[in-house]
Structures are given as C-alpha cells and as structure tokens.
C-alpha cells in the first residue's frame, strides 16, 4: 500500500475524507476552494521556479507499506521545503504534512531539512522542523492510516464546523430527512 | 456571480485579450463581455489577463452583481449578439 | 453554474482559440455570423439540428468533460458523446457490481427505485386531486399496489408491479390534462400529443441523469432495476424513474394546461404525432428553466437546483453501495 503526504494531511483533518480519497472517491472537481488552492500554487510559484525543483520521494516503511511524497518546491541549497496553503484553518494537518516530507528526506538519508509553511493570504509563515518525537508519532500515524485504509468500512462523518467548507460536504450530508418518510 | 467586463487594450495586444475573454464570457459588443462566472474562474481569467496586459497602458473594468436578475439591461439600436443557450 | 446549450439551427461547431465557435448555415448553404460559446460556461450540448463538427472539436470537448446528446429529425434520442471517464474508483466499481450480482442487494435497490418513483407519482396525483381533478381511483389503486413493492422477491415480480403502477398512473393523465387526450401510452411512434411530449421529455430526463452519473464515480452501465445492457447506460434509466414524475410529468401538465404548448406545435400524421421545431424549442426552454429552479434541501439546509438534486441522488447511491448509509430515494414533499 502506498501512503502519501496528502493522506497524512487528510488523516489529521478527517478520517472519513482520508478513507474516501484513498479509495478514489474524489470531490476536488466540485470544489471552488480546491480550484482556488490550485490557482494559488500556479500563481505564487513561477517566479522562483528557477531556484527550486519539484521532487518525488519514496521510502519503504514495511513489507506492505511504501511511503511517497511529492514536494512541489524544494530549495536544495538551503535544504528547505516550501509549502503554500490557502488558509490556516487546518494548520495542524498542514504541519504534519510538512513534517512527513522532512521525515521522507531523512529516511532517504538527507538530514537537517526544514520546511516553510506559507499562507500568502494572511501573510503568515511558519518554520517547521522534525523532532525525534515527531518521527515516532509519524511512524505510529502511518500504522494507523494503514489500518484505516485496509478496512472496508468508511469512518463516520465528522459533524464539525469545517464540514461546511469541505468538498465532500454534499456527499456526506445528502441523506434524506427521514422524518419525511 | 454575473459580470460585465470591459477592456481598453492597445491594438497589438487586443486580439489576445479578445480570445481569452471568449473562453469565459459572452461577447456582446466591441470590447464588452458579460456572463455568469464563478469567483475562482474570474480570478483565473484575470491572472491570465494580467500576463497579456501592459498595466501602465491598458485597463480592464469589471461590473459585478450577485445575480443576473439584479441587472437591468436595455439595448438601444441593434443587439450585436443575443445571449441565449438555445441556438 | 454551467449551462446546457441546445443547438437547433444547422451549422458547424468547431474549436477556435481554445473555445467553441458556432457558425450557422442556412438552407442554401450560406454561412451566418460566427458565434462564440464560452467553453468555461458549457455543461453539455444538445444537438437537435444538423451539426457539422470534426474530431478536433470532439477531442476538445473530451478534454473539457463536455458531453453531447444527439436527437434525430423526429426528436428521437439517438445517442451521446461521452468523454473519457475521469472519476474512477475501483472500490465503487466493485461494490456496485456486487450490489448487482447479489440478488437480495439488487432487489433492495430496485425496490427503492420503484418506491421512490411511486411516491413521486402519488404526490402528483394528490396535488391535482386537491385541485378538483378527481384522481381518487388511481390514488387508491397505486397505494394498494405500492404496498406490494416490499413483498416482491424477484426483479420480474417487481417489474410487474411497477408496470401496473405506471399504467394506472398514466390513466390519470386524461383527467389531469385539459383539452388533450392521451389514451394509452404509445412510444414508437407516439400516437398523440401527450405521448409525444412524454417520449421527448423523458429522453431529456435520461440525459440529465446520465450526465449526473458521469460526474460521479458510479458506473453508468451497471443498473439494478433495469437489466444492465437493456440500454447502453441503464443506471441512468434507474435514476430517471425517481425524477420523471417530478421533472418530466409536472412539466408536461404545466405546458399543456397553461397552453404554453398548443395543438399548432405538433405535427400529426395518420398514426404518429411529433413535436414541430417550435414546440421542441418551447419544451427545451421550459425544461432548462425548470432544472435551474431551486428548492430548500432539508438536510443540506440550503437551496439546491433540481439539476443538483440528481447529482445528490448519485452521492446517496455511492454511500449505499459502500455500506456508508442506506439509500432512501428522493421524495417530493411539496
């Protein structure tokens, strides 16, 4: 099974979204927010594309699990990953995604990599480093995601405020009001 | 949202702008377009437009409203292009 | 919201500067002024007239995920150009297949389609019953038949009941519709105005469902009520059952009773009746307007268009076949 950075990100937002995404039930095409994020990427990077490169990483985690990640912008001189996000609503998940990238570099023998998480809209920047404890946590998380994805059962919906802005909202909440039956 | 887009672009660049706008909006008369568009699609249109424009010489103006129904339209003289999805 | 474009005038559609250009051509073969259709605003195209187009246009439409539905001169639906699938999920495909091959699972879904369709038919009958159109015989008969839906133990038996419900339902049309007689349902060719309208609008409803399915992970050829292979995209037929009473039939009643479509819009031959182009245009216009009308969705708690309602039905099916949430068909409550 391949576990990538997106799934690690989603797992920290909503296990259901992680499961659906991994099983090919995608909703990006229905969401203006997702499209806006895509535009942000395209618009904020071309200027510095010369110094940064896109880089794909893989690492074997166990017999069954291969970790993968695609870093859009990596500055090899400064050993820095640049990750841009639209909004900081799910900042914790974004941080784990960045730490996962750093971890992937470490698993490939490249140490001392850091990440800069940027929110151009609110002009925020966070520097991200990976601690020993983070690596242990990520390793446990990969196991949890593995078990989640092996299951045939989709996790329940979150019923949180963020659901309203999620691209899966209409899928999750389209059930009929049973009082009408 | 529903927008009216007008541009004033120097001749050597105007062809490109015309072609770009035709992808997103209905042409109604010289350098004027209108139509329904989502916020992100408008953002995309404008980002591409900025690459074409010389911002010191050209301009684009957008009039927007939440819904077409808030916009009263009168045509005097010939209507160059009727907007209809039944052709 | 993207729009459907309905092409009646003969002409040539082509890809031009990364958007669509339509050049009408008149009977003498003289080209009119080109019209540009903003590709970003196009949901799909309907070709009613002679459409001239080349592969570069279809490649372009394919890339933009725009389908084209074709109708022949006699307004019969003849087929669709469906772009390559872009939403694939092995999980959904397998689960959908399993819900077909597993007899009980298939029957349950089929029963739900019939029960949803019946609920919506009854809603129509009751609506008109409250407006001095006596449909009590049909209401009683259908309520009686619908109680048998859940007792069926095969698709054939269910289809039998469904057929009886539909015959009973159609027998009310002569009461509901003023000034026109339908008699019995006839399809090839339709024998009178009402039958002509039903055939035409039902095929619009089918293409609506087909497009909704295309934009989800569901596979359009694996169906539950209709036998797969009965039509190319039989799942669209299943889905259309739910929406025909709400979208097609209500529109027919309105068009005829409000005299939007009149005798003069039909071409009546010895034993067939078809819509003239004037009639077809009126129908298509009203159909298109109807689809963008909105209702307050009770669980989403926001206004959604009828068109989006069909998409939501697909989501509910996805959830059902993945054992996330049992499917309850959409039933009109107003």
Task: Please answer whether residues C322 and C221 qualify as being in contact, where contact means their C-beta atoms are separated by less than 8 angstroms.
Answer: no
Q: Tell me the whole-structure pTM to 2 decimals.
A: 0.91
Q: Is B67 on the interface with A (CB under 8 A)?
A: no
Determine which of C303, C324, C333 to mutate to test the interface with A (most A C-beta atoms within 10 Å).
C324
Adjacent-strand bridge partners of B65: B2
Q: How far apart are the first and last CA of chain A?
A: 42
Average pLDDT over residues C56-81: 92
Greatest Cα pair distance in chain C: 63
Q: Is B44 on the interface with A (CB under 8 A)?
A: yes
Q: Give whole-number Cα distances, A12 to A19, A96, B84, in Å.
A: 12, 8, 47
Kindly give the pairing relationship between strand A114-119 and strand B2-8: unpaired
Predicted confidence at residue A136, as pLDDT, reads 95
Q: Regarding predicted confidence, which is higher, B86 or C239?
A: C239
pLDDT in tens, A145-164: 999 999 999 999 999 999 99
Q: Which of residues 28-57 of A touch B (CB under 8 A)?
A: 32, 35-36, 39, 42-43
Distance (Å) from the C-alpha of residue B56 to the closest C-alpha of chain C? 26
Distance (Å) from the C-alpha of residue C118 to the closest C-alpha of chain A? 13
Q: Any idea which of A48-57, A128-137, A159-168, B37-46 has the lowest mean pLDDT?
A: A48-57
Distance (Å) from the C-alpha of residue A84 to the closest C-alpha of chain B? 18
Give CA–CA dist A2/C20, Å, rounded: 41
Per CB-CB distance under 8 Å, the chain A contacts of B47 are 39, 42-43
Distance (Å) from the C-alpha of residue B78 to the closest C-alpha of chain C? 14
Predicted confidence at residue A73, as pLDDT, reads 87
Chains touching C (at least 3 CB pairs under 8 A) are A, B
Nearest CB among C18, C22, C39 relative to B87 is that of C22
pLDDT in tens, A28-87: 888 888 888 888 877 776 656 566 778 899 999 999 999 999 998 888 888 999 998 988
Q: How far apart are the first and last CA of chain C?
A: 25
Other Cβ atoms less than 10 A from the Cβ of A135: the count is 15
Determine which of B22, B49, B81 to mutate to test the interface with C (most C C-beta atoms within 10 Å).
B22
Q: Is C35 on the interface with B (CB under 8 A)?
A: yes
- Res. B2 pLDDT band, cuts 50 70 90: very high
- The H or E element that residue A178 is part of is none
Predicted confidence at residue A46, as pLDDT, reads 60
Q: What is the 3-state secondary structure (H, E, C) of C244-298?
A: HHHHHHHHHHHHHHCCCCCHHHEEECCCCEEECHHHHHHHHHHHHHHHHCEEEEC
pLDDT in tens, C291-315: 999 999 888 889 999 999 999 999 9
Q: Do C299 and A175 touch (CB under 8 A)?
A: yes
Predicted confidence at residue A49, as pLDDT, reads 58
The angle at the Cα of C323, spanning A18 to C300, to the nearest 5 degrees, equals 70
Per CB-CB distance under 8 Å, the chain C contacts of A169 are 300
For A39, the closest chain B residue by CA position comes to B44
């Amino acid at each position: 099974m391949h576990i990538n950075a997106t799934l690690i990100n989603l797992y920290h937002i909503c296990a259901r979204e992680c499961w659906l995404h991994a099983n090919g039930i995608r909703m990006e095409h229905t969401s203006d927010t997702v499209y806006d994020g895509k535009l942000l990427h395209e618009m904020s990077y071309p200027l510095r594309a010369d110094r940064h490169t896109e880089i794909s990483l893989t690492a074997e985690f166990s017999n069954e699990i291969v970790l993968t990640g695609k870093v859009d912008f990596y500055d090899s001189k400064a050993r820095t990953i640049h990750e841009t996000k639209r909004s900081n609503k799910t900042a914790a998940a974004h941080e784990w995604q960045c730490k996962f990238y750093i971890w992937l570099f470490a698993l490939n023998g490249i140490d001392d990599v850091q990440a800069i998480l940027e929110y151009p809209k609110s002009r925020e920047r966070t520097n991200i480093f990976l601690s020993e404890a983070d690596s242990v946590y990520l390793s446990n998380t990969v196991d949890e995601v593995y078990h989640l994805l092996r299951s045939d059962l989709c996790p329940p919906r979150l019923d949180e405020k963020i659901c309203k802005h999620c691209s899966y909202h209409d899928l999750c909440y389209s059930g009929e009001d049973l009082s009408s039956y | 949202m529903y927008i009216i887009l007008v541009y004033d672009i120097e001749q050597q660049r105007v062809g490109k702008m015309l072609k770009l706008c035709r992808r997103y909006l209905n042409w109604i008369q010289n350098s004027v377009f209108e139509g329904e568009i989502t916020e992100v699609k408008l953002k995309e249109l404008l980002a591409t437009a900025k690459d074409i424009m010389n911002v010191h010489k050209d301009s684009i103006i957008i009039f927007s409203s939440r819904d077409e129904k808030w916009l009263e339209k009168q045509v005097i003289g010939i209507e160059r292009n009727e907007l209809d999805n039944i052709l | 919201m993207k729009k459907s474009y309905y092409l009646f005038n003969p002409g040539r559609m082509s890809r031009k500067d990364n958007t669509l250009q339509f050049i009408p051509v008149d009977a003498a073969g003289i080209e009119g002024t080109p019209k540009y259709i903003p590709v970003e605003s196009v949901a799909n195209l309907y070709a009613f007239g002679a459409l001239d187009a080349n592969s570069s246009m279809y490649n372009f439409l394919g890339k933009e995920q725009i389908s084209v539905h074709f109708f022949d001169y006699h307004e019969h639906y003849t087929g669709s150009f469906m772009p390559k699938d872009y939403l694939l999920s092995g999980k959904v495909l397998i689960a959908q297949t399993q819900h077909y091959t597993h007899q009980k699972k298939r029957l349950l879904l089929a029963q739900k389609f019939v029960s949803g369709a019946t609920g919506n038919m009854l809603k129509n009958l009751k609506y008109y019953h409250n407006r001095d159109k006596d449909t009590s015989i049909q209401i009683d008969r259908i309520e009686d038949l619908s109680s048998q839906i859940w007792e069926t133990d095969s698709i054939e038996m269910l289809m039998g009941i469904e057929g009886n419900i539909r015959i009973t339902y159609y027998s009310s049309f002569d009461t509901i519709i003023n000034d026109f007689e339908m008699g019995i349902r006839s399809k090839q060719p339709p024998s009178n105005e009402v039958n002509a309208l039903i055939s035409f609008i039902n095929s619009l409803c089918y293409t609506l469902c087909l497009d909704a399915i295309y934009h989800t992970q569901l596979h359009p050829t694996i169906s539950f009520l209709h036998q797969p292979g009965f039509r190319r995209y039989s799942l669209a037929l299943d889905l259309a059952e739910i929406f025909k009473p709400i979208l097609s039939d209500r529109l027919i009643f309105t068009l005829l009773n409000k005299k939007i479509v009149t005798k003069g819009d039909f071409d009546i031959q010895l034993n067939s009746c078809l819509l003239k182009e004037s009639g077809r245009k009126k129908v298509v216009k009203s159909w298109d307007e109807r689809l963008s009308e909105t209702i307050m969705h009770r669980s989403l708690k926001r206004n959604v268009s009828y068109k989006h309602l069909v998409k939501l039905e697909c989501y509910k099916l996805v959830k059902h076949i993945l054992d996330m949430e049992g499917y309850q068909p959409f039933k009109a409550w107003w």
